[in-house]
Amino acid sequence: MAVIKIKEKKTKKKKVKEEKTKEKKSMIRKLAITGCIATFCFLGITANLGRLIVVHGQEYSEAAYKRQMKNQIISPKRGKIYDVNGNILAMSIAVETISVNPGKISYSNKKIVENEVIAQGLAENLELDYNEVFEKIANAKSSVVVIAKKVSEEKAESLKTWLGEKKITSGVNIDEDTKRYYPYNNVASNLIGICNDDNSGTIGVENRWNTKLTGTAGKIVTVQDVHQNPISDEMEQYVPVENGSNLYLTIDITIQQIAEKYLKQAVEENACSGGGNVIIMNPQNGEILAMATYPDYNLNEPYNIEATGQAAVWDTLTTAQKTEAHHKLWVNKSVSQLYEPGSTFKIITAAIALEENLVQTDTANDFMCTGSYQVEDYDISCWRAEPHGSQTLREALQNSCNPAFIQLGQRVGPTTLYKYCEAFGLFDQIGSDIAKTYPIKIWPLKNVGKVELATASFGQRFEISPLQLITAVSSVANDGVLVQPKIVKQVENSDTGVIEVQEDKEVRQVISKETSEKIKNMMESVVLYGTGKTAAVEGYTIGGKSGTSEPMSGNEEAGYVASFIGISPIENTQVAVLVVLYDPDQNKHYHGGQTAGPAVKNILSEVLPYLGINKNGENVTTQEKSTVAVPNVSSKTVAGAKKILEGYGLNVTFNITENENTSLVTDQMPKAGTVLEKGADVYLYTAENDTRMSVQVPTLIGLTITEARQKVKEQKLNIKIEGTEGKVVSQEPQGEKSVEEGSVVDIVVQKEQES
């Protein structure tokens, strides 16, 4: 029995040992499998990580960098717009943007205030519509709702007071912003244009020069940790802001106001349903002295519906119709609206024929007018029923005879006509720096038949812009040289004061000086003896041409277009003026000479003396080039002011100890707009160095011009002289009176009367 038990024990031990061996092997297998799985997972993770590093490493690195970096944008200041004398036409002023966080409005008294109360307070203080404000707050789909932009400081202060009274401590935001402001309101509105809520120009000069005016934003780049706290000032990067440049236009605000005054008068007196426009240009350098459209609008209230003339039906208009009404009001007709020039174009036809030796100015019986002229199947009438009979070219221009110019056009021919139209710049989009422009709208040359040539010869059935016409006629007045029109005289870097002068650009010689002189002489005859008598200004030599274009058959509701272009003086022409009136009342006068001619006369009668141009046909070269209106240099750096003044031919006097490139001019003497002789002294002052002095005016009565100049110079004064010969007979201020240094003494000189 004992033996059996021993065998059983051994058998049990063996089984236990086998089971342990199995378990061990099983565990090893499990560990091996787990190890393999772990290895495969590790290899997979490693491979994926490698892929991410190789393929997307740069992308993720940049993303991480961006999360660490914070950019603070610094908005640039929009540049100012000045007239030629430094008067501010457009500037930016501080305003506020009001917004609300509907879910975050809190009150110090913990009292809940309904949306109605918030809306009521905002509406009352900001002068807004309550229902619109309430809808914005109650139906807000974002955490921030903008209630109003460009809010004045006065309204913002009123809102702050209300918030204080209601003990509203957060949730209503008042953030600083800027708004474009136009000191002269309606003046030059269609020329200057406007900006949108983002202070970006949308029309006019504000739009065309937007890049220069806007500048470039700066930024501050900082590195921050996960909690958005700055890590180190040493890693901060600063990209400086470049503020917008200032523009100095060629526009003279005084001449602009003269032009607008008489344009409005002409439109209203002649009941012109389509309004009108005027351009005043210097033919010698292309500078535009004034450009206006009427009706105009208030630049500070561009969306005022009253100005559109459709206020009575405004609520019935669609959104598209409302937009169209505003854009029609804002458009600069002088540049962006084409019209049929009518008989003013006869100046161009005559110049072409003279240049090509196809005609002479005073050949007797050169043209015949029987009251109409037959061209193919069309009988084209003259503007008056009574025939003009036989005429010279001069007489045909004086009489504005259509049949005579049809005959002249036949001599010229379509190919030559088109060649010169291109040379005069009529196929170019001139004025693109002012507004959107269009080239001449005319038939292709291959489609020009006898009828088209006939109507084109006297300025009908094709369209150009007023700016194109005055530029072409100005080239005739400028010894035949075409000069590119210019609206910006110089661009000033508002940060450094560096001036970039916009140079005059002579395009080409279109006709000879001899032809130019012949045309100007005939234009003078038009004003002295022909249809332009209404534009004559006593004491001045004026040349001109009237124009009246009739609407095409089937489009009679468009009405007539009446115009007149004038130049002065005939010798050394300084000024060209074009007035265009759209749809004058046909029950009254509607011809250009009757409607637009008087407006040109009124404009020239004020502009010519303002420019210092002498009467009686005297040569004005010396006087015109020896005087200058003092520009406004206030708020400029001393260095910048010095450059501007010296560019005008003036001497600069100042006594400062600070840096000329950083110190700002706070005052000047003489004041901006004062007309001085070139070489006169302008005194500049800064806040730190205002060392102006009083001086005594010398007695000048009985002195010659040379002696008077010397005496005035010794006293640190300037002089303005009326008269060219003789001795001083009067002066203002009187002798021995105390005035500020740099002041102007006005004197009158006369020759002694012979006994």
Q: What's 612's domain CATH number?
A: 3.40.710.10
Residue 40's pLDDT is what?
Answer: 66
Residue 379 phi, psi dihedral angles, 5° rounding: -105, 100
Decide which of 621, 642, 673 is a domain's last residue. Answer: 621
Asked if residue 358 is part of any domain, the answer here is yes
Strand partners, 73: 219
Asked if residue 279 is part of any domain, the answer here is no
Q: What is the CATH number of the domain that holds 189?
A: 3.90.1310.10
Give the integer Cα–Cα distance in Å for 525 and 542.
Answer: 9
- Amino acid in the structure at residue 392: T
pTM over 0.85: no
- The first and second tokens of residue 557, run together, are 């509701």
My answer on whether 453 and 553 are in the same domain is: yes
Q: What is the DSSP letter of 700?
A: -
> What's the pLDDT tens digit per position in 183-211?
999 999 999 999 988 888 999 999 999 99
> What's the pLDDT tens digit per position in 649-679?
888 988 887 788 778 888 899 988 788 888 8
Asked if residue 329 is part of any domain, the answer here is no
My answer on whether 503 and 528 are in the same domain is: yes
My answer on whether 34 and 140 are in the same domain is: no
Map tokens 């420019």 to a residue. 611
Contact (Cβ atoms closer than 8 angstroms) between residue 653 and residue 609: no
My answer on whether 501 and 560 are in the same domain is: yes
> What's the pLDDT tens digit per position in 325-356?
999 999 999 999 999 999 999 999 999 999 99
Question: Which structural domain, as residue segments, surrounds residue 744?
Answer: 622-750
My answer on whether 43 and 33 are in the same domain is: yes
Mean pLDDT on 718-724: 84
My answer on whether 530 and 587 are in the same domain is: yes
My answer on whether 611 and 668 are in the same domain is: no
Asked if residue 294 is part of any domain, the answer here is no
My answer on whether 357 and 461 are in the same domain is: yes
Residue 755's pLDDT is what?
Answer: 40
What pairing do the DSSP bridges indicate for beta strands 246-249 and 81-82?
Answer: parallel
My answer on whether 603 and 722 are in the same domain is: no
Over 90: is that where the pLDDT of 390 sits? yes
- Amino acid in the structure at residue 470: I
**Cβ-based burial of 345 (10 A; exposed 0-12, middle 13-18, buried ≥19):** buried
Decide which of 68, 85, 113 is a domain's last residue. Answer: 68
Sign of the alpha-carbon torsion through 381, 386, 389, 394:
negative
Residue 72's pLDDT is what?
Answer: 56
Q: What is the CATH number of the domain that holds 741?
A: 3.30.10.20
Mapped onto helix, strand or coil, the DSSP state of residue 59 is helix
Computed over every residue of the chain, the mean pLDDT equals: 85
Asked if residue 287 is part of any domain, the answer here is no
Residues in the chain: 755
My answer on whether 612 and 688 are in the same domain is: no
Decide which of 68, 102, 123 is a domain's last residue. Answer: 68
Given pLDDT bands bounded at 50, 70 and 90, which one contains residue 754? very low
My answer on whether 21 and 87 are in the same domain is: no
Q: How many domains is the chain partitioned into structurally?
A: 4
Asked if residue 372 is part of any domain, the answer here is yes
Map tokens 């010969």 to a residue. 725
My answer on whether 590 and 682 are in the same domain is: no
Asked if residue 264 is part of any domain, the answer here is no
Greatest alpha-carbon pair distance for the chain in Å reads 183
Over 60: is that where the pLDDT of 6 sits? no
